[in-house]
Amino acid sequence: MQLPRCLAATLICCVLAFQPAQATEKQDTISKKQAVKLATDKYSGKTLKISKQGDYYIVRILLDDGRIIDLKVHQVTGEVKKD
């Protein structure tokens, strides 16, 4: 009879241990406004559109020379990559 109680206690401890990690993960993401700032710091121009795709924000920028580019900004790291 002791084994089921021990397993139940272990399961409860595991569930409680993982909850704070999930909560902090959402707090560590950058906002759309921050993503636009990071993208326009790297490529100067006018922001046309921003959307979310998986773990990235896609920022569409009209460059000063008239070209349009899409940049991927990672929601957690803030890394900017040209698409």
pLDDT the model gives residue 21: 45
CATH of the domain at 56: 3.10.450.40
- The pLDDT value given to residue 24: 43
Tens-digit pLDDT string for the chain (83 aa): 565 665 555 656 555 555 544 434 455 799 999 999 999 999 999 999 999 999 999 999 999 999 999 999 999 999 999 97
Q: Are 70 and 59 in contact (CB under 8 A)?
A: yes
Q: What's the structural domain count of the chain?
A: 1
CA-to-CA distance for 32 and 40, rounded, in angstroms? 12
Distance CA 45, CA 63 (A): 4
Q: What is the dihedral of CA 56, 60, 63, 69, to 10 degrees?
A: 70
Q: Give the domain range for residue 43.
A: 2-82
